Amino acid sequence: MPAVKIKICGLRRMHDIEYANMLMPDYIGFILAEGFMRSITAEDAAEFAERLDSGIKRTGVFVNQPEEIVAGFVNNGIIQCVQLHGNEDNAYISRLRQITSNGCDIIKAARIRDCRDIATAAGYKCDYLLLDAGTGAQAGGNGMEFDWSLVKNINKPFFLAGGISASNARRAIEITHPYALDASSGMETDGYKDFGKMKEFIDTVRSLE
């Protein structure tokens, strides 16, 4: 079985970038939609991107934003992957591909409550899916698991999110066989990224390879 990739989402301080450079997850995520606890500005994202190790893929998380805004982050080299966390449909994805000159991977998030949500997710024309809990106040980053037994017959590689941490990483992998695990709130103490929790999580996942 290929090694499970690791994504740490919601980096918002230079300390977080330093932690990532020491621990080297495969992906990190910047929240580039306004109004969320972990949102950052375009200026911060550009600065963080410069400081981040080039071996880590930079992902921008967007929620129902115009394609031109999303493409700007890609075309300016700030991010390499786009994560769509709103109501974006296949027409949106197609338009976004047409205006991203540098090319990028597109990750489409789906909030999973029942098997119908899995079926809907299977229809997205993205490169990767991100399966997250269907409950919670925000579009992701709520720290809540969903019923992982629903994850069946997925037709493309997917990131598994929703309350992921060192304590449930093994179970998540054994049940769902994801392409990657995506952790955010489980990597924090008092709302900020915690180096110890990040290290424990990454060490745990890589020990299963």
Residues that are catalytic: 9, 132
Helix, strand, coil content of the chain in percent (nearest 5) = 35, 20, 45
Cβ neighbours of 78 (radius 10 Å): 19
Phi, psi of 201 (to 5 degrees): -65, -50
Task: Please answer whether residues 48 and 60 qualify as being in contact, where contact means their C-beta atoms are separated by less than 8 angstroms.
Answer: no
How far is residue 166's CA from residue 126's CA, in Å, rounded to a whole number?
A: 28
Q: Where are the alpha helices (DSSP H) in 52-159?
A: 67-75, 90-99, 115-122
Return all residues near 161 (Cβ < 8 A) that are at least 6 apart. Answer: 9, 109, 130, 131, 132, 133, 140, 181, 182, 183, 184
Q: Where are the beta strands (DSSP E) in the chain?
A: 5-9, 27-31, 57-62, 81-84, 105-112, 128-133, 158-160, 180-183, 188-189, 192-193
